[in-house]
Amino acid sequence: MKQLITASGMLLLLALTGCVPVKAWERGDLARPEMAFEPDPMLAGYRRHVEFSKEAASGGPVLSGGGCGCN
Amino acid sequence: MKPTRMNKTTALQALTSAALAIPGLAAAEVQTEYLYAHYQEADLPASKGVGQSSERYEINSHRFRLTSPLGEATAALNLTLESMSGASPWYIMPDANGKLTQIMSGASISEERADVEATLAYPVGDVQVAVSLGYSKEDDYEAVNGGAEFEHTPEGQAYSFSGGIGYSYDRLEPTVGRSSLDVIRKADRDSLNVYGGVSFILGPQTVLQTSLGYALGDGYLSDPYKRAYIQSQTDHIPDNRPGERSSWTASARLRHYVAPLGAALHADYRYYDDEWEVTAHTLDIAWHQTFADTWRLTPSLRYYSQSQAYFYAPFYQNVRADGLASSDYRLSPYGALSLRLDLRKAIGAWELGGGIERYEASADYALESVKVENPGLVEYLALSFKLAYRF
Amino acid sequence: MSKAWVSGVLLCLLTAAAPAAAPMAVPAGVQVAPPVWAPQADGTPTGLRDLRGQVVLVDFWASWCAPCLQSLPQLEQWYQTLRARGFTVLAVNVDTDRAKALAFLKRKPVTFPVVYDPEGWWPEQYGVGGMPASYVVDGQGKLRAVHSGYNEKDLPRIRQEIEALLSERGNAQ
């Protein structure tokens, strides 16, 4: 049930953003540094490492490096 | 002379920031970055923890990164140095009333970790490729890893494909507890992970990336520093997990630019499911607010919830028939909430910044109701400082 | 209910997946280049009409386009060496925020004419499919070559094209 709610929430957000074909010269906002999937790879990498060592789940659209003896 | 058409690094480079996961591709300049992070776990309250030391982990991390164009390619070098100290959860003991007590590892562990990683990104036709190699070393742990990623935007299209494959070989040699006969001397494991995704430009202010990932771990996947309490034996046995673990992830990352406010909204969701019957949901929402052109304030909220591994128990009545045992809080059912605030300021070619994060794990935050909360769940505070320079 | 959402989103993804701008096909060397007529920084308009007789590279760029950091200085260099032979660049900026374009030009100054088209009228006429995009126009105002994106490897070829057109122009005179 909760998964369903999460999924519908995502879809709603999607639908609200609308969709218009975007011309090459109209992509200025998309090219802004804060619009990157990872605007700060170093900080994101640090946080991923901490979460990886404290939680059961890991992975996603990134390569996982080596593990660690983190306790 | 015939008219010619050329199609090279168009959308990809112009859109690097919006469409790419491979880092540093648009870097036409040499860039250096330094990140310092101080991580401090909250001590367990006296009601939960006992042991010679209940002072939990403290980690100081220094990360350096150098990115440089190399002809058509971009090279990146990452270096991490960490020092860790503190005690960690060892096993959980129930008292006569069934109340759980976390027993902490005796000695306060103190060690260093060094990690180097080099990445080279270059175009092959109209596909951007990045290969990386890494090595990580601790007193008791060593890992070598490598991987390759790609990104491709079909010409004139509003979508890109990306994917990657990574492999890691890890070897461990526990330093503490060697006197016990049942603690392993040496062990190793292989890990493989692959992912593939598509990102779509949904509008002039909106991009969405959806991806699937698969990972496989094979070898020694237990924790040599943890044990599980067996009530019928009034003794504890080594942590023992299956020798294989495959997992799947499905992720979505949405970026939306709120032009009137000059802010970017990030929403990331990941669903995780593995062979040990752990399922987890992660939702991360961030608001990147730019003001006065050179300042950026980013509040973010991360919610995480996981179910337990099928063989997990805070303690066991008897040894399981399959011999598996783990009381590790990381395999227990719980949820976690994390609040963060980061600030960045650009001054010419410099960038300066700092951030704070508070993370709290609790059975109360779990999506499904939890019968018994693991007393070792973690709560931490992380402070970071960043300095970057663009040549 | 949820099915409606799903189909709405699918439709959305499909339209997003359709070509954002149909790549322009230049038929065998005879197409007339759209004229380009837009204001420069000081407000005076200019365009291909004012540059008739010269070999013109029409370049569409923006401050947010990372490869433009390399392409504009490259064009400036060609302009400096080839202007005496009748070559010029007409740079069309497509930033919606003029200040950003000006800040970019302060960092990477150019001496050829730059016009501002925040509405994107001219890239639409040219059917620009990527950034940067450049169009080589001969002395008669005919479109002779199209280049999308920036890649150092292509530079010698583009330069050859320009030089060939300059010789063609020299012979005709």
pLDDT for position B14: 32
Percentage of chain C modeled with pLDDT above 90: 56
pLDDT score recorded for residue A19: 52
pLDDT of residue B244: 97
B227: closest CA of chain C, how far (Å):
47
ipTM above 0.85? yes
- A11: nearest Cα among A22, A3, A1: A3
| Chain C residues within an 8 Å CB radius of B2 | 28-29
Query: Per-residue pLDDT tens for B149-204?
Result: 998 888 777 788 999 999 999 999 887 665 566 778 889 999 999 999 999 888 88
Q: Are residues B194 and B163 in contact, defined by beta-carbon separation less than 8 angstroms?
A: yes
Kindly state whether B162 is in contact with chain A, defined as any CB-CB distance less than 8 angstroms: yes
**Please, are residues C122 and C34 in contact by the beta-carbon 8 Å criterion?**
yes
Q: How many Cβ atoms from other residues are within 10 Å of residue C104's Cβ? A: 21
Within 10 angstroms of residue B309's Cβ, the number of other Cβ atoms is: 23
DSSP code of residue B326: B
From chain C, pick out residues whose CB is under 8 angstroms from the CB of B6. 146-149, 151, 154
pLDDT above 70: residue A3: no
Edge-to-edge order in the sheet of strand B5-7: B5-7, C143-148, C133-137, C55-61, C87-93, C114-116
- Give the span between the Cα atoms of C103 and B88, in whole angstroms: 53
* Mean per-residue pLDDT, A33-48: 91
B1 interfaces chain C, CB cutoff of 8 Å: yes
Q: Do B307 and B277 form a contact (C-beta atoms < 8 A)?
A: yes
User: How near does any CA of chain B get to the CA of A51, in Å?
Assistant: 10
Q: Which residues of B touch C153 (CB under 8 A)?
A: 8, 72
Mean pLDDT, range C49-71, rounded to an integer? 91
Measured from the Cβ of residue B252, the count of other Cβ atoms closer than 10 Å reads: 19
For chain C, report the end-to-end CA distance as a whole number of angstroms. 71
Residue A9: pLDDT band with limits 50, 70, 90: low
Neighbours of chain B (3+ CB pairs under 8 A): A, C
> pLDDT for C103-154, tens place per residue?
999 989 999 999 999 999 999 999 888 888 899 999 889 998 888 878 778 8
Q: What is the pLDDT of residue B51?
A: 58
Name the pLDDT band for A31 (thresholds 50, 70, 90): confident
How far lies C131's CA from each of A42, B9, C19, C90, C95, in Å? 28, 9, 15, 15, 12
Bridge partner list, B5:
C146
Region for A60 from its dihedrals, namely left if φ exceeds 0, alpha if ψ lies in -120 to 50, beta otherwise = left
Q: If contacts are CB pairs under 8 Å, which of residues 289-308 in chain B contact chain A?
A: 290, 296, 304, 306
Q: Would you place residue A71 in the very low, low, confident or very high pLDDT band (cuts 50, 70, 90)? A: low
At residue B214, the pLDDT reads 97
pLDDT at C8 over 50: no
The whole-angstrom distance between residue B34's C-alpha and the CA centroid of its chain comes to 19
Residue B224: is the preceding peptide bond cis (ω within 30°)?
no
Confidence check: pLDDT of C27 > 60: no
Residue with tokens 């007789």: C53
C-chain residue closest to A32, CA distance? C64
Verify whether the Cβ–Cβ distance B6 to C70 is below 8 Å. no
Cβ pair B203:A47 closer than 8 A: no
Q: Which residue has the tokens 């494909």?
A: B161
More confident residue, C20 or B44: B44
Tens of pLDDT, residue by residue, chain B (391 residues): 333 333 333 222 333 333 332 333 355 678 899 999 999 999 887 777 665 556 788 999 999 999 888 877 888 899 999 999 888 889 999 988 888 999 888 666 678 999 999 999 888 888 889 999 999 999 889 999 999 999 888 877 778 899 999 999 999 988 766 556 677 888 999 999 999 999 988 888 999 999 999 999 999 999 988 999 999 999 999 999 999 999 999 999 999 999 999 999 999 999 999 999 999 999 999 999 999 989 999 999 999 999 999 999 999 999 999 999 999 999 999 999 999 999 999 998 899 999 999 999 999 999 999 999 999 999 999 999 999 998 8
